[in-house]
Amino acid sequence: MQYIQLIEYQTQSFPAETFSSDEIQTLWENHRPVLHIDPPSFQNDFCWVMTPQGWVGHIPLSAEKTIVIQPKVPVQNLFGMLKQVYRLPSFKFIDGLTRVETLEGMLDLLAFELASRVHDRLRQGIFQTYLKKREPISVVRGRVDSRWLATHPADSQIQCDFTEQTADVPFNQVLAYTLRLIAVGGACSKETMRIVNKAWRQMPVTMLTFQSIDLADWGYSRLNADYRPMHALCRLFLDVLQPKHQPDQIGHHMLPFLVNMPVLYEKYVASWLGQNLPAGYSLREQERVDLDTNESRYVDLDLIIFDAVNNPVIVLDTKYKAGEPTNDDIYQVTFYAREIGCRSAGLVYPIRPNTPLSGRNQEITYRAYTFALDHNSNEAGAAFLKQLDL
């Protein structure tokens, strides 16, 4: 396997013969938002020039060639972001993670952890519940449907309403589906692939398709509390794996896994703030604001902090990018603040801009803030809250 290494937001050049026309077509058709590509010309010494656009992960081009986009931040810091966003508990492998330097190595450990937990639960007995069923059966069970019986007097089976204990429920189905996605990907180590394949094949459930949002607001009890961390891992994998490229046969070629770093950074900041705002304040994410009366034009605001009486205190727009704040960034966030009647706006960066930013656009004051990624989340968050001065 040939691995072509890139780093997010860093431009690299490759000789024209590095990629076939089919491989470039695959990138153009399926991954245009992920990579900016300039074709070979006299301006670039007849090379392919590629710049990742804030995504990290794997893009398989063929059975022999894969593009690997590494994050700017160390993998340990990236795991800290994922841990915060997906509410991942402190798994037993956390010490081993400090020795992992690649994204695929981190995902390998996460996949191994998920499969190991599923194996443990299979040995104990997976969660089961009672489901209501209605179907014709040969022996009376539960409550007989008398109306059906009156209209089918000669039928050898009787329509009954009854309950049946089963493990074929979403709690277990999503584990099987996620593990199968990982198995299809083929990017894990042989040991991890062995335990992943064994786990999903042993799950006695119907194979259904899930999305990360399907797992939102699932309730847990003392009988299935250990499913919560497994489902947190499922949410992560369902977000980063790309099932739309799933091949017909398992192992035919790898699924891409891609992490959108600007979106992850926004969720990371929001998740930490949501848990650590001072008393009397609340946070809303992706608040939709209509720009006209017929609701055909609108904007989604990244983050808004409200006070105890539900007045907006500040509008925040996260900017996971290098460089200095632009005039467009300032106009955008102050426009958002004006639309909801807020007097303060801020741009949030992972790295402090070289030139401090603060000013006023009409009645709206604005400033650049930093929620750093080179510290642990509590230290970075505490420094960020101090800047906000709520």
Region of poorest pLDDT, from 182-191, 192-201, 247-256, 257-266: 247-256
CA distances from 8 to 16, 73, 110, 371 (A): 21, 10, 22, 19
pLDDT of residue 253: 45
What are the DSSP calls for 277-295, one per residue?
PPTT-EEEEEEEEESSTTS
74 and 9 in contact (C-beta within 8 Å)?
Answer: no
Q: Read off the tokens for 375.
A: 């510290």
Burial degree of 140 (CB within 10 A; 0-12, 13-18, 19+):
exposed
Helices assigned H by DSSP within the chain:
21-30, 75-85, 94-97, 103-124, 146-151, 170-185, 190-202, 227-240, 261-276, 327-339, 377-388
Q: Which residues contact 206 (CB under 8 A, 6 or more apart)?
A: 168, 173
Map tokens 């642990």 to a residue. 376
Most confident of the following: 69-73, 174-178, 324-328 = 174-178
CA trace torsion 25, 29, 30, 34 (10° rounding):
90
DSSP state of 18: G
Is pLDDT larger for residue 301 or for residue 335? 335
Residue 191 contacts residue 153 (beta carbons within 8 Å): no
Do residues 368 and 357 touch, judged by C-beta distance below 8 A?
A: yes
Task: Find, among 153, 133, 128, the residue nearest to 143 by Cα.
Answer: 133
Per-residue confidence (pLDDT) for residue 249, from 0 to 100: 40
What percent of the chain is modeled with pLDDT above 70?
A: 90
Cβ neighbours for 23, distance < 8 A, ≥ 6 positions apart: 61, 62, 65
Q: pLDDT (tens digit, 9 = 90+) per residue, 100-144?
A: 778 888 888 899 999 999 999 999 999 988 878 777 867 777 777
Q: Which of 75-79, 279-283, 323-327, 376-380 has the largest mean confidence?
A: 279-283
pLDDT computed for residue 97 by the predictor: 57
Would you say the pTM of this structure is higher than 0.75? yes
Tell me what the pLDDT averaged over the chain comes to: 85
For the beta carbon of residue 367, count every other beta carbon within 10 angstroms.
17
**pLDDT of amino acid 98:** 54
Which pLDDT band holds residue 246 (cuts at 50, 70, 90)? very low
Question: Looking at residues 5-12, what average pLDDT do you find?
Answer: 93
